[in-house]
Amino acid sequence: AMNDCDHPRLRLEAEIRDGSVVLAVGDNGPGVPEAERERVFDLFHSGRRGGTGLGLAIVRRIASAHGGEARLRADGRPGATFEVELPLRPRGR
């Protein structure tokens, strides 16, 4: 997606939020079309030619297996920002 940009930028963020670590990866590409936003984490769904549709589905499954979640953040910035939130401590401890 960043291939469509004249000056591609990748943004990495990490923060502690409410007992979790939140990792975010964002870019200044064209973003995710509104119609695709609900499906970006679906297995075998790819928004680009030649994609397998496995990457984000696997990310979400790994995050969930560790008691966390993965999401597409709507923050008003150009491009797309994906977050993975994982608990600092295992649940129940």
Q: What is the pLDDT of residues 10-64, one digit of tens each?
A: 999 999 999 999 999 999 988 888 888 889 888 887 766 777 778 899 999 999 9
CATH superfamily, domain at 2-87 = Histidine kinase-like ATPase, C-terminal domain (3.30.565.10)
> Can you give the pLDDT at residue 2?
67
> Can you give the pLDDT at residue 81?
95
What is the C-alpha separation between 62 and 69, in angstroms, rounded? 8
> Can you give the pLDDT at residue 1?
60
What residue segments make up the domains of the chain, in order of their start? 2-87
Helix and strand numbers, DSSP H then E, in the chain: 1, 4
Residue 62 tokens, joined: 């790994």
